[in-house]
Amino acid sequence: MSQNPPETTLSDEQIRETVEQILSAGTLPPIVQAGHPALRRRAAAFDGQLSPGQLDRLIELMRQVMHEAPGVGLAAPQLGIPLQIAVIEDQYDVDPEAAAVRKRSPLEFMALLNPRYSPLGTELASFYEGCLSLNGLQAVVSRPERVLLDFQVPDGSRAQREFSGWQARIVQHETDHLNGVLYIDRAQLRSLSSNAEYAAHWAEPGIGKAREGLGFGDGPVTLP
């Protein structure tokens, strides 16, 4: 893929119309899948394209879709909306051993506008990762263990927050979505597994068994 995906071609008016159509449908919208153009273009920075009321309604709808899926994050492009908006939340009960190995801890609900992350330190973490826009698949992705996230909150103010462990993985994954990047662009492709095969062969907190069995390496994958 291109290291610098093209920007969305939708105008602000077209984006507003898309959002209003989704909000007025009366049902939860589907999550678009790999191949949809919104997933491969850089979303427009949020700059007041929506009224405060529309923004609040969209954020609440995204939260509902995320819970229904279920998932721990959702980006607006996953609903076909090319705006830099994402929601994250991780309150699921997980196996204590897996939580310890993956450094996974509860994450309160957050709405992120125009997020940007920067690695803190050089430590990487490699684990299987999935995506609501690539149903039924997962692969190993190496990501920075700690990141600093700069973002805007719905009231318009800017904020910064440090994330580590699984929370850092979540914010990187969702921020990537807003820039036209899917996790498979960063994945060890030999690790790619269907959910069924992962459950049958590689379901453990770490990736050692899968690395040996599938013959993939470690470390980050450089985007071409």
Contact between 107 and 89 under an 8 Å Cβ cutoff? The reply is yes
Q: Maximum CA pair distance of the chain?
A: 52
Q: Is 201 annotated as a binding residue?
A: no
Q: Is 67 annotated as a binding residue?
A: no
Element (H, E) at 74: strand 73-75
What is the rounded distance in angstroms from the CA atom of residue 82 to the CA atom of residue 75? 9
Q: Which of 17, 174, 204, 212 is catalytic?
A: 174
The token pair at 2 is 């291109």
Q: Which residues lie closer than 8 Å to 108 by C-beta, 6 or more apart?
A: 89, 91
Q: At what angle do helices 52-68 and 12-23 cross, to 10 degrees?
A: 60
Is 197 considered catalytic here? no
As a dihedral over the C-alpha atoms of residue 190, residue 196, residue 202, residue 206, rounded to 10 degrees, the angle is 90
DSSP secondary structure code for residue 202 in this structure: I
What is the rounded distance in angstroms from the CA atom of residue 221 to the CA atom of residue 185? 8
Q: Is 36 annotated as a binding residue?
A: no
Which residues line the annotated binding site for Fe cation?
A: 131, 173, 177
Which residues line the annotated binding site?
A: 131, 173, 177
Active site positions, annotated = 174
